[in-house]
């Protein structure tokens, strides 16, 4: 940096600190006057000169190939990669072949992980261990369902197309076998739930307070009342106290407005 004196209206003429440029340029000196008089600091005419000047502070652009089978040192223009290098993340390859081989090895390692963490049963399902329903794992620091990951890896898909989901043919949420998986819309998935009787109704619901036998008993007891008589043998309020629910719930059951699948 070279200070050539202060001009009109608080501007001064400086020389670019980058050795490959060293062109004079004007700059507002109000906030830099003390540094300039003391001969401190470096100043650049553009962001490009600033980046090129700092590019040689990180091992002079010498990188190591991220492919574990190569790991050869190579030179690269790292001006645009400076932030990644300082933060310690990112993968760099000396040639396209190393990049392709690295992706192939990564895919093979994911396949091995899926096969190692699944148990095959008699139906041909690959059940993910340590999961009650859908399995989950991490990929690129993100949580992903194991059946979705299995379908992507074994079918060479970078991602699932927009608007589609991965459906199970075997109705086994833990299954990761790609032969038991297929793509479909959310509507197709909902129709599978209805046609295969997997809807959470009645006793299948986690909030159910009755069993099918309870519903049959409630309807039978209420049917003992004679139609047309005001005085009833078994009242809805009495049944509600027995089962610990509201009276309106019993009335809906006896009118067949809910639990309609129980005969």
Q: For the chain, what percent of residues have pLDDT higher than 90? A: 19
Using a cut of 0.85, tell me whether the model's pTM lies above it. no
Q: For the chain, what percent of residues have pLDDT higher than 70? A: 77
All structural domains of the chain:
2-55 (no CATH), 59-104 (no CATH), 118-195 (3.90.75.20), 203-254 (no CATH)
Identify the burial level of 147 via C-beta atoms within 10 angstroms of its C-beta, where 0-12 means exposed, 13-18 middle and 19 or more buried: buried
Place of tokens 């000196």: 29
Rounded to an integer, the average pLDDT of 97-121 is: 81
Q: What is the pLDDT of residues 58-89, one digit of tens each?
A: 444 677 787 777 888 877 766 656 655 555 55
CA distance 219 to 103: 63
In the prediction, which pLDDT does 74 show? 76
Residue of 114, 121, 122 lying closest to 147 (CA atoms): 114
Task: Point out the least confidently predicted range of 3-7, 64-68, 140-144, 166-170.
Answer: 3-7
Structural contact between residues 46 and 39, judged by C-beta atoms closer than 8 angstroms: no
User: Per 3-state DSSP, what percentage of the chain is helix, strand, and coil (rounded to 5)?
Assistant: 40, 15, 45
- Which residues, including other chains, have CB under 8 Å from residue 21's CB and lie 6 or more apart? 44, 45, 49
Most confident region among 13-17, 233-237, 251-255 by mean pLDDT: 251-255
Q: Which one has a higher pLDDT value, 254 or 58?
A: 254
Per-residue burial over 115-132, b = 16 or more CB atoms within 10 Å of its CB, e = otherwise: eebbeeeeeebbbbeeee
Q: Is the pLDDT of residue 125 over 90?
A: yes
Q: Is the pLDDT of residue 150 over 90?
A: yes
């Amino acid at each position: 940096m070279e200070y050539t004196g202060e001009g009109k209206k608080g501007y001064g003429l400086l020389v670019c600190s980058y050795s490959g440029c060293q062109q004079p340029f004007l700059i507002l000196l109000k906030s830099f006057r003390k540094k300039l008089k003391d001969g401190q600091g470096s100043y650049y005419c553009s962001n490009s000169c600033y980046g090129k000047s700092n590019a040689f502070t990180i091992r002079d652009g010498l990188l190591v190939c991220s492919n574990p089978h190569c790991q050869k040192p190579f030179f690269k223009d790292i001006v645009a990669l400076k932030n990644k290098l300082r933060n310690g993340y990112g993968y760099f390859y000396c040639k396209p072949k190393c990049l392709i081989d690295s992706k192939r090895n990564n895919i093979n390692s994911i396949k091995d992980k899926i096969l190692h963490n699944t148990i095959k049963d008699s139906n041909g399902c690959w059940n993910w261990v340590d999961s009650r329903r859908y399995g989950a794992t991490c990929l690129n620091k993100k949580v992903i369902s194991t059946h979705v990951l299995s379908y992507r890896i074994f079918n060479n898909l970078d991602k699932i197309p927009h608007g589609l989901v991965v459906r199970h043919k075997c109705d086994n949420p833990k299954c990761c076998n790609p032969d038991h998986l297929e793509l479909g819309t959310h509507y197709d998935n909902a129709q599978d739930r209805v046609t295969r009787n997997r809807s959470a109704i009645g006793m299948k619901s986690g909030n159910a307070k009755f069993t099918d036998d309870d519903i049959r008993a409630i309807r039978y007891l209420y049917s003992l009342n004679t139609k047309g008589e005001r005085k009833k043998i078994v009242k809805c309020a009495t049944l509600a106290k027995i089962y610990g629910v509201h009276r309106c719930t019993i009335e809906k059951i006896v009118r067949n407005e809910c639990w309609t699948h129980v005969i």
